[in-house]
């Protein structure tokens, strides 16, 4: 560029400026920009904020993948060091011009006219004006026309915006690095701190990123050091380049400040990114929930402590849900204790013994049984299409005659299967569906094992079904967000539901299996049931007080079995902690007896159960004597236990004939009092007669008493290759 007199350059610059000013005054009238309150109100963070019932933040979850934006940050909440660095780097005369730095514009125009090095003249107001009009930060070189529009918009902006508003909006909208938009996202993403805490070197690094957000780390470090030296010649900037390279070479991450409900957050925001979630605010995604933050944190801590205590037993995960009975509002929702993508509240697992209360409720409601009815807890063999079904109690003991109350409270398996035989598998499956369980297979698929919980259910379904018991048979959907109550419906008879709840709260009847001192015992009225699925893969504890229902599951999402973990030792301690926490300031009294339920005194004959007052649906109570005495005691009737009716026995040609024997088994029958009769012929008495050497054919087997009366009979078939067997 040729040397020109300084006065000539100044005159030329002033002429250019005057001409531009005239045109821009005219152009500014055509620019209509949003006001500061409108821009601030329209700011949309990329996260959804999950709020508890009191408005406190429970969780932050990413929704918008186009950029990383956090809440709007006021200018007073931003470090003065950053403000100083940005102004020095981007617009040194910000507080002196009216949107356009004419001195810089003139110098840039003259420099370009005479071929000098290109020099930018965009002010912060001009850059912000572009962002407000286009929705993005300025990119690339501008044409003269674009620059003209930009300056006109900046002049218009400064007519209606204050300087501090312009600077605040600029720092909240500008992109700093990659997807980090706004000072809050940049500060937390790069330094894991709030904007108010930025120091001098962090401020310089962020300031130079505005000009080149995606520059190489080494180049950013060099520019940051230059800026720091310009701001303070005495500043120690030797480590700034290395600090910058180290920082920008690592992946950045905006850590959520609160992360207490990740599974619930994903569930509530599944359609929120597309704007379909009616609970999501259009400007700031804030989703209110029914949860209680303090209870949520307590539930997480209790579950985590229990899982730590079970580390040596191959227990990896757990889940908790707490519900308010009257409203159905969910107060705590812990899908797991780790980062697993599996939600333990909605995951489907085998129910174990947790379905038994609904089976007995059905039997009571249909007047098939009462709480005092006697059931036989002794070996049971049921022929099915897949072979013999032989259920066992968890301890493989037979307790003989037990009442329905004892069978349910102590979770005995064989009486439950006998009850399903009485009530029917189809009606039982229908009842489970009616109370909210999503049984995805027909009843015959589950067969007689449905009473023992072979169906897959979720923790959420279990808790709501037990809540239905707590409400006397009234069911409704659970609620995760505030709003109108969901429609309720009667799904059980009130009296039958009350009796089942009373049984589940009976510590004495429960003690036969669990003892008096166990984690199911509270200082107040509560009803509770545990369950363990096959091979100890799942462990449940579900129970309720008058106000709350709590469900806990522990196990492994992989389905791997636990080691020696039962309902009492696995999930129950967490249930007890939560129930005591909820009832710490109040005591749950037993619910009043509803109309249609009466109490009567019963005495049991031939049973170890003591005389007691029992609850009955009106019309099923004993009139003069205890029901157990006035009715025939089915458990005492002699019957054939093996082989069951329709059994097919197949001979094995690889086993020597003398080693192939069938052992006839009888229940409630002494060997000296009864004889076996096979195809009309009496077999020898005693042990020898019941050890029979089978031959192919069809057989009728009868159990007869000393008077020759047939007590029970069955038919069965023996199959095999007669040619391969030695004739006896």
The string of DSSP letters for 652-692 reads -TTS-GGG--EE-EEES--TTT-EEEETTEEPPSHHHHHEE
* C-beta of residue 284 within 8 angstroms of C-beta of residue 49: yes
To the query of whether residue 90 is one of the catalytic residues in this protein, the response is yes
CATH 2.60.40.10, domain 637-724, yes or no: yes
Q: pLDDT at position 516, please?
A: 65
pLDDT at 218: 94
Listed as ranges, residues in the chain with pLDDT below 50 are 1-2, 4, 19, 22-30, 116-119, 272-284, 624-635, 726-728
Task: Give catalytic status of residue 353 as yes or no.
Answer: yes
pLDDT for 232 equals 85
Half-sphere exposure of 580 (CA within 13 A, CB side): 12
Which position among 353, 403, 476, 533 bears the catalytic label? 353
- DSSP secondary structure code for residue 352 in this structure: G
Question: H-type helices in 480-595, by residue range?
Answer: 494-504, 507-514, 572-582
Looking at the chain, which residues constitute the CATH 1.10.3810.10 domain(s)? 6-30+69-248
- Which backbone phi and psi does 453 adopt, to 5 degrees? 85, 40
Q: Are 687 and 700 in contact (CB under 8 A)?
A: no
Tokens of 431: 């009842």
CA dist 102 and 412 (Å) reads 90
464: β partners = none
Alpha helices in 535-669 (DSSP H): 572-582, 627-630
The Cα 164–Cα 183 span in angstroms is 15
| N-terminal to C-terminal alpha carbon distance within the chain | 126
All CATH 3.40.710.10 domain ranges in the chain, comma separated: 303-630
Identified catalytic residue from 13, 79, 90, 361: 90
* CATH class label, 303-630: alpha beta
Q: Which residue, among 188, 184, 158, has the nearest Cα to 172 in the 3D structure?
A: 184
* Per-residue model confidence (pLDDT) at position 31: 52
The fold of the 6-30+69-248 domain, in CATH, is Penicillin binding protein transpeptidase fold (1.10.3810)
pLDDT for the residue 142? 57
Residues of the chain with CATH 2.60.40.10: 637-724
Nearest to 465, CA basis, from 588, 355, 629, 301: 355
pTM across the whole model:
0.76
């Amino acid at each position: 560029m040729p040397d020109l007199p300084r006065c000539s350059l100044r005159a030329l610059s002033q002429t250019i400026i005057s001409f531009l000013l005239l045109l821009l005054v005219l152009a500014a009238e055509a620019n209509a920009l949003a006001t500061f309150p409108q821009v601030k109100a329209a700011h949309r963070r990329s996260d959804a904020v999950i709020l508890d019932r009191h408005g406190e933040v429970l969780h932050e979850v990413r929704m918008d993948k186009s950029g990383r934006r956090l809440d709007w940050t006021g200018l007073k909440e931003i470090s003065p060091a950053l403000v100083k660095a940005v102004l020095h780097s981007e617009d040194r005369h910000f507080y002196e011009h009216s949107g356009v730095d004419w001195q810089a514009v003139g110098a840039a125009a003259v420099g370009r006219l005479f071929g000098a090095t290109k020099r930018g003249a965009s002010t912060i107001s001009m850059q912000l004006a572009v962002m407000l009009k286009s929705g993005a930060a300025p990119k690339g070189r501008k044409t003269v026309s674009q620059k003209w529009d930009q300056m006109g918009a900046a002049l218009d902006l400064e007519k209606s915006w204050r300087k501090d508003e312009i600077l605040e909006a600029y720092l909240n909208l500008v992109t700093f690095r990659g997807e980090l938009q706004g000072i809050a996202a940049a500060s937390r993403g790069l330094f894991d701190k709030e904007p108010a805490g930025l120091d001098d070197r962090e401020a310089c690094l962020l300031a130079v990123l505005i000009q080149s957000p995606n520059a190489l780390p080494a180049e950013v470090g060099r520019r940051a050091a230059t800026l720091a030296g310009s701001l303070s010649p005495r500043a120690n900037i030797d480590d700034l380049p290395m600090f910058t390279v180290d920082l920008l070479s690592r992946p950045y991450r905006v850590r959520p400040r609160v992360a207490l409900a990740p599974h619930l957050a994903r569930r509530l925001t599944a359609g929120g990114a597309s704007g379909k979630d009616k609970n999501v605010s259009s400007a700031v995604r804030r989703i209110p929930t029914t949860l209680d933050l303090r209870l949520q944190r307590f539930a997480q801590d209790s579950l985590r402590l229990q899982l730590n205590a079970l580390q040596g037993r191959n227990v990896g995960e757990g889940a908790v849900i707490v519900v308010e009975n009257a409203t159905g509002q969910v107060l705590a929702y812990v899908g797991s204790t780790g980062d697993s993508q599996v939600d333990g509240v909605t995951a489907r697992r085998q129910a174990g013994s947790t379905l038994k209360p609904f089976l007995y409720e059905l039997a009571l409601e249909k007047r098939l049984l009462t709480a005092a009815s006697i059931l036989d807890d002794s070996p049971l063999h049921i022929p099915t299409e897949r072979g013999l079904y032989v259920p066992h109690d968890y301890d493989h003991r037979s307790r003989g005659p037990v009442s329905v109350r004892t069978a349910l409270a102590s979770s005995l398996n064989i009486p439950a299967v006998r009850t399903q035989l009485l009530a029917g598998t189809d009606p039982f499956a229908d009842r489970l569906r009616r109370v909210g369980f999503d049984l995805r297979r027909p009843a015959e698929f589950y067969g007689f094992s449905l009473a023992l919980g072979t169906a897959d259910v979720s923790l959420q379904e279990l808790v709501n079904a037990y809540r239905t018991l707590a409400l006397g048979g009234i069911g409704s959907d659970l609620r995760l967000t505030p709003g109108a109550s969901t429609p309720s419906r009667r799904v059980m008879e009130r009296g039958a539901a009350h009796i089942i709840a009373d049984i589940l709260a009976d510590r004495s009847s429960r003690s036969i299996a669990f003892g008096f001192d166990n984690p199911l015992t509270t200082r107040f009225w509560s009803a509770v049931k545990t369950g363990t699925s096959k091979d100890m893969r799942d462990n449940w504890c579900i129970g309720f007080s008058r106000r709350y229902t709590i469900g806990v599951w522990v196990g492994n999402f992989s389905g791997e079995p636990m080691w020696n973990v039962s309902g009492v030792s696995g999930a129950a301690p967490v249930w007890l902690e939560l129930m005591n926490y909820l009832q710490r300031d109040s005591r749950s009294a037993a619910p009043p007896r509803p109309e249609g339920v009466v109490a009567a005194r019963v005495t049991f004959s031939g049973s170890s159960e003591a005389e007691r007052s029992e609850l009955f649906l009106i019309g099923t109570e004993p009139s003069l004597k205890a029901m157990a005495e006035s009715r025939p005691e089915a458990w005492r009737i002699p019957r054939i236990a093996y082989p069951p009716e329709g059994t097919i026995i197949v001979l094995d040609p690889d086993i020597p004939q003398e080693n192939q024997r069938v052992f006839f088994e009888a229940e409630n029958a002494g060997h000296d009092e009864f004889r076996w009769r096979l195809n009309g012929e009496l077999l020898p008495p005693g042990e020898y007669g019941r050890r029979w050497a089978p031959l192919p054919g069809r057989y009728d087997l009868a159990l007869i008493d000393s008077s020759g009366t047939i007590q029970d009979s069955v038919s069965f078939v023996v199959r095999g290759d007669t040619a391969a067997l030695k004739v006896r």
